[in-house]
Amino acid sequence: MLLPKFEYHDPGKLTEACRLMAELGQGARLLAGGTDLLVNMKKSLVRPQHVVSLGRIPELASLKKEGRRIRIGSCVNIADIAREPVISERLTALSEGALSLGSPLIRNLATIGGNIVTARPAADMPPPLIAYGAKIKLQKKGKSRTIPLDAFFTGPGSTVLEHGELLSEIMIEMPSSLSGASYIKLGVRKALEISLASAAAFIRLDSPEGRIKDARIALGSVAPTPLRSRSAEEVLLGECPSPALFTKASEEAARDARPIDDFRGSAEYRRDMVKVLTRRALDKALKRAIENQEK
Amino acid sequence: MKRLIKTNINGKVMELAVNPGQTLADLLRYELGLTGTKKGCEMGECGSCTVLMDGRPVNSCLVLAVRVDGRSITTIEGVEADSGLHPIQKAFVEHGAIQCGFCSPGMILSAKSLLEGNPSPDQVEIRTAISGNLCRCTGYQKIVEAIASVAHKGVKNE
Ligand code: FES
Ligand code: FES
């Protein structure tokens, strides 16, 4: 299967990549891991005249912890996210998301930034990232801005990215003690699966037996974009965790969901599953929050 | 316009002129004659095109050849030693883990990468490691048994 003809650019600097994107105009596409772009090019869904590879830009491939913040370059691959000890220990839901994406072969190529900018409602990185309150840095020639990830998506495949703008970095504040999170994906098989529905939950308690100080619930595959369930969060905030409270929050999450019918599952089934998944994600998050008190 | 790249393929450093639109799978098969790397779906779904890039298994149908500049690639042709088949290859033969053989290069490379990082994987780890490699013949059980048998013996004796 041949790829359509294009011109290839591989800048070594971020500023150069931004300049190229500004100059080359609409016919240019960014290439990170290639697991999405190359497939779409083979299927002739996109026919870029220029492909700008980000693979030679060192700062986009770095993952570092600075004080209480972790900064992940947009071209860090999913396998490296899954195997990074800081992430598996402190940002467990993010490594759960990484390990459920694609297959081991795909994870060695696909990047965290690619999984975000393609803006698929079923993508596995956005729900856990939104649950952790991640921010993203968007850069274009002569301008950069930082926005919360949950303000990035506008529809399936569409985002607030402006022409020539690229995602350079994902930033997460390390969760403090007494906080925990979890990501659960529902599919019919374990690898290379596009989820039917998924849920990520994050909670922080004010004391071991205390109330919920912070809560974020994010859902995948049940709306045109990854979806934050504010109503579920409102139910949780300021309350003491209990099975009844979690059930109520999960029902709210199911109400916020706007699923569709497709060949993978019906909207009704998906909505029911949002309730189950949110409930389970909350149970796990609470368990982890309690275990996480000594640190 | 073609580009010059320098890459290490199965231990040999090569300088090659490649087309930007050429995938690594096509470079290996059509330019270098390394046809052990198979092409099934060409969409990243079957794993028959698996090669090791800097030791890690990837779908070579989704890697542009220009991207392997400065990297090292191992294909199934690079797994066999002068002394004969690699222990993983032997185990596949002995356990009947090969029927038509189309998935075998990819399966063996995924298994090799697993065993190098984790010499005694459990069943779940083995099944996860080959979860991007589809087999239409064996039903996987014999492949899992073959990998487990090498895991117990160790893979050192190349
Ligand atoms: S041919 Fe590459 S994954 Fe199928
Ligand atoms: S042996 Fe035929 S595809 Fe696996």
Distance in angstroms (rounded) separating the CA atoms of residues B100 and A47: 36
Return the residue of A nearest to B66 by Cα. A8
CB contact (8 A) between residue B21 and residue A3? yes
- pLDDT at position A153: 98
Same domain, B99 and B129: yes
Distance in angstroms (rounded) separating the CA atoms of residues A187 and B2: 42
Same domain, B74 and B18: yes
- On whether residue B46 sits in a domain, the answer given is yes
- The residue among B50, B78, B106 that closes a domain is B78
Point out the ligand nearest to the CA of residue B46.
Answer: 1
Mean pLDDT, all residues of chain A? 95
Domain range for B32? 3-78
- pLDDT at position B154: 55
- The residue among B48, B78, B108 that closes a domain is B78
Residue A144: strand pairing partners? A139
User: Which of B3, B38, B51, B58 to probe the A interface (max A CBs under 10 A)?
Assistant: B58
User: What's the CATH code of the domain at B113?
Assistant: 1.10.150.120
Distance in angstroms (rounded) separating the CA atoms of residues B37 and B51: 7
**A103: pLDDT strictly greater than 70:** yes
Distance in angstroms (rounded) separating the CA atoms of residues A285 and A288: 5
Residue B124 touches chain A, beta carbons under 8 Å: no
Q: How far is CA A284 from CA A3, B67, B98, in A?
A: 45, 41, 41
pLDDT, tens digit, 9 for 90 and up, residues B81-92: 888 999 999 999
**A156: pLDDT strictly greater than 70:** yes
A114-144: b or e for each residue (b if 16 or more CB lie within 10 Å)? Answer: bbbbbbbbbbbbbbbbbbbbbbbbbbbeeee
CB of B146 shorter than 6 A to ligand 2: no
* Closest by CA position to B46, among listed B116, B108, B131: B131
For residue A192, give the nearest of B23, B45, B67 by CB distance: B45
Percentage of chain B beyond pLDDT 70 is: 97
According to CATH, the topology of domain A179-291 is Enolase-like; domain 1 (3.30.390)
Q: Does the interface predicted TM-score (ipTM) exceed 0.90?
A: yes
User: What's the CATH code of the domain at B70?
Assistant: 3.10.20.30
**A192: pLDDT strictly greater than 90:** no
Q: Which CATH class is domain A58-173?
A: alpha beta
Percentage of chain A beyond pLDDT 90 is: 92
pLDDT, tens digit, 9 for 90 and up, residues B66-105: 999 999 999 999 999 888 999 999 999 999 999 999 999 9
Q: How confident is the model at residue A191 (pLDDT cuts 50, 70, 90)?
A: confident
Residue A35 touches chain B, beta carbons under 8 Å: yes
**A68: pLDDT strictly greater than 50:** yes
**A106: pLDDT strictly greater than 50:** yes
Same domain, B40 and B68: yes
Average pLDDT over residues B16-43: 97
Distance in angstroms (rounded) separating the CA atoms of residues A253 and A196: 15
Task: List all residues of chain B from 35 to 74 with a beta carbon under 8 Å from chain A.
Answer: 42-45, 47, 50, 53, 56-59, 62-64, 66-67
Residue B110 touches chain A, beta carbons under 8 Å: yes
- pLDDT at position B157: 43
Same domain, B66 and B118: no
Extents of the domains making up chain A: 7-53, 58-173, 179-291
The amino acid that residue A220 corresponds to is G
Same domain, B95 and B68: no
Point out the ligand nearest to the CA of residue B25.
Answer: 1
Average pLDDT over residues A61-77: 96
pLDDT, tens digit, 9 for 90 and up, residues A28-48: 999 999 999 999 999 999 999
Contact A159, A225 (CB under 8 A): no
Residue A53 touches chain B, beta carbons under 8 Å: yes
pLDDT, tens digit, 9 for 90 and up, residues A277-286: 999 999 999 9
CB contact (8 A) between residue A2 and residue B21? yes
Q: Retrieve residue A100's tokens.
A: 């459920």
Pick among 3.30.43.10, 3.60.20.10, 3.90.230.10, 3.40.50.1100: CATH of A7-53: 3.30.43.10
What's this model's pTM, rounded to 2 decimal places?
0.95
**B156: pLDDT strictly greater than 50:** no
User: How far apart, in Å, do the first and last CA atoms of chain B sit?
Assistant: 41
- The residue among B46, B78, B110 that closes a domain is B78
Please tell me the total number of residues recorded for chain B in this structure: 158
**A258: pLDDT strictly greater than 70:** yes
Distance in angstroms (rounded) separating the CA atoms of residues A215 and A230: 9
* CA B85 to ligand 1 centroid distance, Å: 25
H or E element in which residue B26 lies: helix B24-26
Q: How far is CA A29 from CA A9, A47, A54, A75, A176, in A?
A: 10, 9, 11, 15, 39
* CA B150 to ligand 1 centroid distance, Å: 26
Same domain, B59 and B27: yes
* CA A249 to ligand 2 centroid distance, Å: 47
Distance in angstroms (rounded) separating the CA atoms of residues A195 and A187: 5
Point out the ligand nearest to the CA of residue B95.
Answer: 2
Total domains in chain B come to 2
pLDDT, tens digit, 9 for 90 and up, residues A216-241: 999 999 999 999 999 999 999 999 99
Q: How confident is the model at residue B158 (pLDDT cuts 50, 70, 90)?
A: very low
Mean pLDDT, all residues of chain B? 94
Give the three-state DSSP class for A70: strand
For residue A192, give the nearest of B57, B62, B132 by CB distance: B132
